[in-house]
Structure 1
Amino acid sequence: MSTTDDAMTMTSETLTIKKTSLKEKWWHIMDTWKVGIIPLPLFLLAGVLIAIDCLYGSLPSDIVVMVATLAFFGFACGEFGKRLPIVGKLGAAAICATFIPSAMVYYGLLPDTVVESTTRFYKSTNILYLYICCIIVGSIMSMNRDTLIQGFMRIFFPMLCGEIVGMLVGMGVGLSLGMEPFQIFFFIILPIMAGGVGEGAIPLSIGYAALLHMEQGVALGRILPMVMLGSLTAIIISGCLNQLGKRFPHLTGEGQLMPDRRNVDQPTASAPLFSAKTDVTTIAAGVLLAVLLYMIGMLGHKLIGLPAPVGMLFVAVLIKLVHGVSPRLLEGSQVVYKFFQTSVTYPILFAVGVAITPWQELLHAFTLNNLLVIVSTVSALVATGFVVGKKIGMHPIDVAIISCCQSGQGGTGDVAILTAGNRMSLMPFAQIATRIGGAINVSVSLLVLGNFLI
């Protein structure tokens, strides 16, 4: 009887071990096999559910379905880019997440229902601005006050030097190729540094239509591809700079422009420390803080015409400098920043690729002469930022990545460039480079065109 009891006990224990082992294997798959941040079983389930909706011909564009759709395609494209040999470490993930969807739309490889729903969702929700405002506020709240002040005071000089050298080099290369000076500057170099599409290419096309007596659509068609190619070049260079920083750590602050002279036990912008007090309500308050600051920026845009992200940026800096929020709320903002950086970037880039990145425009501008002028312009701009930043005591690689943003495709370009460079905490400075720098370039150039060349 005892032997039988022992055998039954051993059998029961064996079954328990087998059951536990099977459960642990499943948990192991859930925790370690991932596409981006998505556990593989959930990724496959999302793919099946999206496919079923597509087969029925109706993929809802509401936020619930779009969260799954953008996450599925965005992380799939990003993961593909990360796993590419060599270029996977040079920013290919951000490039693939943006331009593969654009190419799939153009060649008809993406279901029409996905394209329509994604485009409708992106344009109706302005989800990009929620992303940008949470990134800006979170990164500003993570910075040391002294570093923040010094960074904003010093960043303009490398930006100015970079633009001057970039323009001169681009003009020199274009002239050596036999291109017309007017064409080189106003239809290649200036669009690259105009600050993207909404704040750059469109105002330029309106100005050209009025001053050069051409159709705005024609002008935009010539400008937009240069903006895209300039941004693509900047993404690649930013990825290369990130690898350079890994090889030569003394050249980078890993997301900080200025050398950090604080005590070593204090958190840095690139590695914020979160205490156990950061609960869900604090994180929610951090989101609300970012949204309210953006609303203030929108109000400033209506009153004085300053772009809303820039107005929000200045208010956030002011709040940080005067200790306007508690340390606990600062931590909540940092958690929000980290969440959007890790979980929302690739879905956003996928939506951008589908909704507002015309693949055919990129192909039309892909000529050898255009490419040489664009690459030389952006490379000179970035190299100048690197050298000048080092000379004035800043981290040269981080300054150079901000210089990349001067030739980015607006807010979407900033996201892709900083993602490729793994420096999302530099978003506040990137917004200055893109929006303020672009606005100045467009205004001055149209003024010169209207008063001296026409």
Structure 2
Amino acid sequence: MSTPKTKTASQPPETTEGAIPKGRAFWWKLMDTDVGIIPLPFYLILIILLIAFTATKGITGELAMVIAISAVFAFTLGEIGNRLPLLRKIGGGAVLVTFIPSLLGYLGWVPDPMKKAVGDFFTSSKILNLFIAAVIVGSILSMNRQVLIKGFFKIFVPLLAGSVLAVVAGTAVGTALGLGLHDTFFFTVVPIMAGGVGEGAIPLTIGYSQILGMEQGAALARVLPPIMVGNLTAVILAGALALLGKKYPNLTGNGQLQAGGGSDDILDLEDGQKPARFDLKGVAAGGIVAVTLYLLGVLANELLGWPAPVVMLFAAVLLALAHGVSPRLQGGLKMVYRFALTAVAFPLLFTFSLIQTPWQSLVAGFAPANLITIVTTVVAMVAGGFFTARWVKLHPIETAMITSTHSGMGGAGDIAILTAADRMRLMPFAQIATRIGGGLTVAGALILISIVH
């Protein structure tokens, strides 16, 4: 047993070289305290700068200004939501960022120049599409191939079961509450499952206007509340499912869809290959891969009329199945995917809510009969996915989350729902529910209404 060494007169005194001064240590601690992704001192500086620019009428549409505005508002709301006692347990940050900006815009608490700057950029840049491309391509091409193959085929079973149950339950409840069979089905249940506003509500209401002889604007005003409130319901349910998974671990794969399939991470490839170490050039190359597949989808949409996100999704799947990207690119794409989730998701949700989520539509959806019908529809959809997941050997909680995205507001809705549950890894499967499920819903509803009208 060794004895502790004792100091002697011949030994040099202990040096303080390398010790961090208290002032510097305190400052570094502040710098390492983040509001979302913003260091606290720079968060405070940004607030002062935005107030000064507003006072001097210096708010412009340049990218730096748009980033500052959306980041400060989004991460402030995110931090508040993640600290509220009850809301934080069900993804409170995502809930607030998804819907409170709509209220702030309605009340005029976001200055008009700021609202115009972020709105113009959001509309002209179509950055939401690029974000979805980064998430879809990055997640698909960094996923275990076997999990990808099995998951894509299996997810249609619970998705169909949830959709059928949602139609039956929602229509029955709405009819019982006096909304009428026709109006409940075509103007409440179908819009919830149509795949959002741009890809769902707009083509749906164009069809309604042509078949029913009504103004498209009037039809759109009727279907927006179910879409908005349905998405809010799905966001809350996704957070509740994540909480349920913490209490009952046997029901969840913690982001992995396939039950008993091992990890879905690229570090567990079936051929034993591992991605290269972090490579900045590989990250940039991965970003170009995502952009290329996105543009492929855009071209397919222009030439053939096919939905761009669906084309991009299946192109990424085919590339993954064919071992089309190297481990270096897989590692780069994974970093692109993670960066998009960490830095871009909340600012995009803030902008979408502020610019494209009318507060009046949300309020209209809270009329008692409408609210009960909408909630019943979404709950039935989630329950259908949850209880049929075991039939196809999928984790019930992840499966239920994916089916819940069938009631989302398109791509932004998927982001909100999966962010609330910390399950953005499921985005490729959510896109199946939203894009393919929504497209089939719209087509089926228009065929049916043309028959019964």
* TM-score range relative to shorter protein: over 0.9
Partner of 2:62: 62
After superposition, residues 125-136 of structure 1 pair within 5 angstroms as 125-136=125-136
CA contact (8 A) 1:349 1:416 kept: yes
Specify the alignment match of 1:28 in structure 2. Answer: 29
Q: CA deviation at 1:46?
A: 1.1
Stretches of structure 1 lacking an aligned partner (at least 5 in a row): 1-9
**Are the counterparts in 1 of residues 142 and 265 from structure 2 also a CA contact under 8 Å?**
no
Paired letter, 2:415: V
SS of the aligned residue for 1:186 comes to: helix
Q: Which moved more, 1:408-417 or 1:80-89?
A: 80-89
* Structure 1 residues 318-338: Cα deviation after superposition (integer angstroms, max 9, x where no partner): 111111111010000001101
Matched residue SS, 1:267:
helix
Counting only pairs closer than 5 Å after superposition, residues 106-121 of structure 1 correspond to structure 2 as 106-121=106-121
Following superposition, the deviation at residue 268 of structure 1 comes to 6.2
Q: 1:115-167, CA deviations, whole angstroms, 9 ceiling, x for partnerless residues?
A: 11111111011111111000001111221101100001111111111111111
Q: What amino acid is aligned across from residue 144 of structure 2 in structure 1?
A: N
Whether the aligned pair in 2 keeps the contact of 1:74 and 1:350 (CA below 8 Å) is: yes
1:271-310 to structure 2, matched below 5 A, reads 277-310=277-310
**Inter-partner Cα distance in structure 2 for 1:17 and 1:56:** 46
**In terms of mean alpha carbon deviation, does 339-348 or 52-61 score higher?**
52-61
- Structure 1 distance, partners of 2:249, 2:316, is 30
1:181 Cα deviation after fit: 0.3
Q: Which runs of 5+ in 2 are unaligned?
A: 1-12
The residue number in structure 2 matching 1:248 is: 248
Q: What is the CA-CA distance between 1:304 and the residue it aligns to?
A: 2.4
Higher mean C-alpha displacement, 412-421 vs 41-50: 41-50
Q: Deviations over 1:231-277 (max 9, x none)?
A: 010000000001111111121112221125348997369xxx99673
1:17 shift after superposition: 8.8
1:275-324 deviation per Cα after TM superposition (whole angstroms, max 9, x unaligned): 67322111111111100010011111123222111110100011111111
The one-letter code sitting in structure 2 at the alignment partner of 1:30 is M
Please say if residues 202 and 220 of structure 1, whose CA atoms lie closer than 8 Å, have aligned partners that are also in contact.
yes
For the pair 1:189 / 2:189, whether they are aligned, the reply is yes
Q: Do 1:147 and 1:260's aligned partners in 2 also have CA atoms closer than 8 Å?
A: no
SS in 2 for 1:378: helix
8 Å contact kept, 2:275–2:330: no
Matched, 1:177 2:177: yes
Q: Secondary structure at the match of 1:406?
A: helix
The 1:276/1:156 distance shift into structure 2, 3 A limit, reads: closer
Q: Distance in 2 between matches of 1:293 and 1:45?
A: 39
Residue 318 of structure 1 corresponds to which residue in structure 2? 318
Query: Which residue in 2 is equivalent to 1:37?
Result: 37
Describe the shift of the 1:264–1:359 C-alpha distance in structure 2 as closer, same or farther (beyond 3 A): closer
Q: Which stretch shifts more, 356-365 or 282-291?
A: 356-365
The 1:18–1:52 alpha-carbon spacing in structure 2 relative to 1, beyond 3 Å, is farther
Query: Quick check: 2:206–2:216 contact (8 Å CA) kept in 1?
Result: yes
Answer whether contact 1:386 1:396 (CA < 8 A) is retained: yes
The residue number in structure 2 matching 1:225 is 225
Deviation track 1:21-44 (CA, whole Å, cap 9, x = no partner) reads 21121111111x211121101111
Per the alignment, residue 82 of structure 2 pairs with: 82
The correspondence of residues 346-365 of structure 1 with structure 2, limited to 5 A, is 346-365=346-365
Maintained 8 Å contact 1:142/1:268: no
Matched residue type, 1:205: T
What's 2:452 paired with?
453
- Alignment-derived partner of residue 7 in structure 1: none
CA distance in 2, matches of 1:310, 1:238: 23
Spell out, residue by residue over 1:403-441, the C-alpha distance to the aligned partner (whole angstroms, 9 max, x if none): 110000011100000001111011111111001111111
- Equivalent residue number for residue 202 of structure 2: 202
What is the aligned length?
437
> Cα deviation per residue 1:34-72 (whole Å; 9 max; x = unaligned)?
111211011111111111111112311121221122111
Q: Which residue of 2 aligns with 1:377?
A: 377
Q: 1:362: Cα distance to partner?
A: 1.1
What is the one-letter code of the residue matched to 1:267?
A: L
- Name the residue aligned to 1:140: 140
Q: CA deviation at 1:365?
A: 2.6
Asked if the contact 2:301–2:308 (Cα under 8 Å) also holds between the matched residues in 1, the reply is yes
Q: Deviations over 1:371-426 (max 9, x none)?
A: 10011111011001001112221111000000110000011100000001111011
2:73 matched to which residue of 1? 73
Higher mean displacement: 128-137 or 20-29: 20-29
Letter in 2 for 1:29: L
| 2:142–2:266 Cα contact (<8 Å) kept | no
Whether contact under 8 Å (2:36, 2:75) holds in the other structure is yes
Which one is further off, 276-285 or 358-367? Answer: 276-285
CA distances 1:74-117 after superposition (whole Å, capped 9, x unpaired): 10111111111111121221121121111011011111111111
**Contact persistence 1:118–1:354 (CA under 8 A):** no
CA RMSD between the two structures: 2.0
The aligned counterpart of 1:123 is 123
Question: Percent of aligned pairs with the same residue?
Answer: 47
Per the alignment, in what secondary structure is the counterpart of residue 430 of structure 2? helix
In 2, the alpha carbon distance for the partners of 1:449 and 1:351 equals 35
Q: Secondary structure at the match of 1:438?
A: helix
Q: TM-score, normalised by structure 2?
A: 0.93
Aligned partners of 2:38 and 2:261: how far apart in 1?
A: 38
Aligned equivalents of 2:287, 2:263: Cα separation in 1:
29
CA contact (8 A) 2:92 2:420 kept: yes
- Contact kept in structure 1, 2:81 and 2:93, CA below 8 Å: yes
Give the equivalent residue in structure 2 for 1:402.
Answer: 402
Alpha-carbon deviations, 1:142-198, whole Å to 9, x = none?
211011000011111111111111110111211221221001000100000000001
Q: Distance in 1 between matches of 2:284 and 2:186?
A: 46
* Letter matched to residue 185 of structure 1: F
Amino acid at match of 2:360: Q
